[in-house]
Structure 1
Amino acid sequence: MTDKPSVLFVCVHNAGRSQMAAGFLTHLAGDRIEVRSAGSTPADQVNPVAIEAMKEVGIDISGQTPKVLTIDAVKASDVCVTMGCGDTCPVFPGKRYLDWTLDDPAGRGIDAVRPIRDAIEQRVRVLIDELLSQ
């Protein structure tokens, strides 16, 4: 077991929003926070436009692969952040749940994905501050 906080980011395909959020959290918090991401219906690959948008800010998520959401991932996380996956995330007592309303980058061009990326970064920075000040 570890004393560091853990966060699970969940979106439908685990190909855009949750991957960008996990990339920001890993980049900004380093090893101070454990990071997971998953999807209720994972895609075959991470959205190439999300990869491109993250590269623009110096974060490479191209090596990531979409993963299926499991009960074990939720149980192992202190905070579960959902992004448009509705009620598919199992709820367990003692866990903190956040629902971030963000547009889905799927099928959008880079100009539409940049504001989504930037909104995710702002939320991740607030979450890091909250988790590391406890």
Structure 2
Amino acid sequence: MAAALLEHRAQGRVRVRSAGSAPADAVNPVVVEVMAEVGLDVSRRLPRRLFTDDVEVSDVVVTMGCGDECPYVPGRRYEDWPLDDPSGQGVEAVRAVRDEIDARVRRLLGELVGEA
């Protein structure tokens, strides 16, 4: 959700990568549903594993509770966004997670490019 929202909000002003320490086989169908509510289609995205190379080429690394499982590269800006895991949650709960992520994305984008 964070990558799709940031890509949408940034409109090409930042390069976005998305990966996880324990990626699922497919995007959660409830996530697909709540993202479609805001006009974003994430149904064809494929979750992928986060590697050190991903972090090495990034200026800002946003984590969501991966702790010691996330690669660490000195000199990168790290932000941990402690959010509820949408896995196994209903539409209302996932919608709240989406909205929290969107608020954080807007704030981060404002810091990176001067406006949200």
Short-chain TM bin: over 0.9
1:47 aligns with 2:28: yes
Tell me, what secondary structure is at the counterpart of 2:63? strand
1:109 aligns with 2:80: no
Instruction: Report % sequence identity.
Output: 59
What TM-score comes out, normalization by structure 2 length?
0.95
**Number of residue pairs matched by the alignment:** 114
What TM-score comes out, normalization by structure 1 length?
0.83
Aligned partner of 1:73 in structure 2 is 54
Amino acid at match of 1:96: R
Contact 2:52–2:72 (8 Å) recurs in 1? no
RMSD over aligned Cα atoms: 0.8
Following TM superposition, by how much is the alpha carbon of 1:58 offset from its aligned partner in structure 2, in angstroms? Answer: 0.8
Tell me, what secondary structure is at the counterpart of 2:17? strand
Amino acid at match of 2:23: P
Aligned partner of 1:125 in structure 2 is 106
Structure 1's unaligned 5+ residue stretches are: 1-19
1:64 aligns with 2:11: no
Runs of 4+ in 1 over 3 A off after TM superposition: none
Amino acid at match of 1:37: S
Amino acid at match of 1:132: V
Following TM superposition, by how much is the alpha carbon of 1:63 offset from its aligned partner in structure 2, in angstroms? Answer: 1.5
Tell me, what secondary structure is at the counterpart of 1:87? helix
Aligned partner of 2:80 in structure 1 is 99
Following TM superposition, by how much is the alpha carbon of 1:28 offset from its aligned partner in structure 2, in angstroms? Answer: 0.6
Structure (1/2) with the larger strand percentage: 1
